[in-house]
Structure 1
Amino acid sequence: MSRRRADAPTLHPRHERRGEARLPAVIVTLIAIALYLALPQQLLIGPRFVLPALEVLLLVPLIAINPRRLTRQTRTFRVLSLTLVLLIAASNLAALGILVDELLNARAADGHALLVAALQVWLTSVIAFGLAYWELDRGGPVSRTQLPRAELPLADFRFSQDENDDAVGEVSDGASGTSDWIPTLPDYLYVSITNSTAFSPTDTMPLSTRAKLLMAVQSVSALLTSLLVIARAVSILH
């Protein structure tokens, strides 16, 4: 393991940190809700505002428990946060299924609207699975900052920082073992977007069975969106 450079800052142990900021997760969640609201009516499950209203109702107590930074972990908080992510992901997969059915049965005639809907479904998928990875890995965002590393649950993902301890100094100084680095929401969104574009892991590897299953579901849904939906929309435009 390389030695820390003399000018490198001394970091507090994770259990003394303030916790990850709440605002980024709120923003991407609201974007996912807005994308669902903007879908064509035939791709929605039930009335347009029912699921979004339920998701907002779940989001409000989550903000109340941790309004600025994610430092408090309660059973209620954990259940609500996982339920919210599940609702976003399930409703988006259902919209994708309806969209594919519309195409296979030649009921979709508006190519422009179809292209927009496909992009909305794809973007929502990136957000939903990014949030799922963020909520599950190593016990979730609260555990990752508030627990000592030795007490963290098993990791679902192996990031490149987790294996950079023996690299050159300017790289190893940012490694997990050297700097006590932890992934945050942007890291998981990056994993999600690369999985949706490459249809496979890139620089971050899934370790647990649930992580592999989630990435497989995301890859298949992204493949359907990219190859079937968009290809069909282009043919309609022509």
Structure 2
Amino acid sequence: MEPGRKTPEHRVKASERFARHERRGEARLPAVLATLVAILLYVALPAQLLLGPRFVLPALEVLLLIPLIAVNPRRMTRQNRVSRTLSLALVAVIGVSNLASLGLLVHAMVTKQASNGGSLLLAALQVWATNIIIFGLAFWELDRGGPVVRTQADRCDLPLADFRFSQDENDDAIEEVADGSARRSDWVPTLMDYLYVSVTDSTAFSPTDTMPLSTRAKALMSMESVSALITTLLVIAHAVGVLDS
């Protein structure tokens, strides 16, 4: 056996030592930061792209976020029906407000209400960036029961997966790749994995290394691709045309 190479017995012991229900939950901070960035991007939009007064929706979103932090201030290890509902509601509110802003942006472009190409271009980038964050959060909240269930439940008790990651099928690859697979290392996706899926979907308008499996995952990815396509090909193109005129 090569020096330093793990035997199957060692892998089994490692898997037992890092069993999902014994591991610490996923860190809360990345999700909080992503949510706050999405809120700030909305606050910074031009007034004509906002739904109502500037700080009403952001205040509601912060109010939804506070109890979620209180339940899991550092690591996401606990949830109940109320906290689960609040977390999904938070994602839904930010997502709907961003899609509404995109609609108002397209309306302003079509009706030529936005004559300032520079502000239109900046607003389009803000909506596009928020789109990436919010769909990444949506994927993260929904896949396999959400971040708490993914780390605290036994793998046999997890709900059906919404996404198939490369780690889910790498257990028969070469050793240095297979050792990091879901089967051998008990790997589970984190927020960064879902944000990466969202980035690739918003730039390539299709899945890359991660495949949607469920109907809702396919619907969400389709919605993100279409909204990103509208933003990049229509709104930003119009803004550049205004700048050049």
TM-score (norm 1): 0.97
Aligned mate of 2:210, from 194, 198, 204: 204
Q: How many aligned positions are there? A: 235
Which of the residues 215, 220, 235 maps onto 1:229? Answer: 235
Secondary structure of the structure 1 residue equivalent to 2:112: coil
Aligned-residue offset at 1:227: 0.1
Runs of 4+ aligned structure 1 residues displaced above 3 Å come to 6-9
Q: Which residue of 2 aligns with 1:219?
A: 225
- The CA deviation at 1:18 is 1.0
1:12 to partner: Cα distance: 1.3
Unaligned ranges ≥5, structure 2:
none
| 2:65 maps to which of 59, 67, 77 | 59
1:191 aligns to what? 197
User: C-alpha separation between the residues in 1 aligned to 2:233 and 2:184?
Assistant: 43
Contact persistence 1:157–1:207 (CA under 8 A): yes
Instruction: For 1:36-75, list aligned pairs within 5 A.
Output: 36-75=42-81
- The alignment's C-alpha RMSD in Å is 1.1
Counterpart of 2:55, as a letter, is F
Q: Which runs of 5+ in 1 are unaligned?
A: none
Q: Deviations over 1:89-147 (max 9, x none)?
A: 00000000000011111111101101110000000000000000000000000000000
Matching residue of 1:85: 91
Q: Select the residue among 113, 138, 144 that pairs with 1:132.
A: 138
> Is 1:182 aligned to 2:183, yes or no?
no
Structure 1 residue 5 and structure 2 residue 6: aligned?
yes
What letter is aligned with 2:58?
A: P
Tell me, in whole angstroms, the C-alpha distance in 2 between the residues paired with 1:47 and 1:29. Answer: 20
Matched, 1:172 2:178: yes
- For 1:72 and 1:17, how far apart are their aligned partners in 2? 13
Could you tell me how far apart the structure 2 residues matched to 1:94 and 1:68 are? 32
- Does residue 119 (structure 1) correspond to residue 119 (structure 2)? The answer is no
CA contact (8 A) 1:5 1:169 kept: no
2-side partners of 1:66 and 1:47: how far apart?
31
Tell me the percent identity.
69
Aligned to 2:107: 101
AA of the residue aligned to 2:40: A
Whether 1:76 and 2:77 are equivalent positions in the alignment is: no
SS at match of 2:54: coil
User: Normalising to structure 2: TM-score of the pair?
Assistant: 0.94
Specify which of 13, 17, 34 is matched with residue 40 of structure 2.
34
> CA–CA distance in 2 between the matches of 1:186 and 1:5?
28
**Contact in 2 for aligned 1:21/1:70 (Cα 8 Å):** yes
- 1:196-234 deviations in whole A, cap 9, x for unaligned? 000000000000000000000000000000000000000
Residue 159 of structure 1 pairs with residue 165 of structure 2: yes
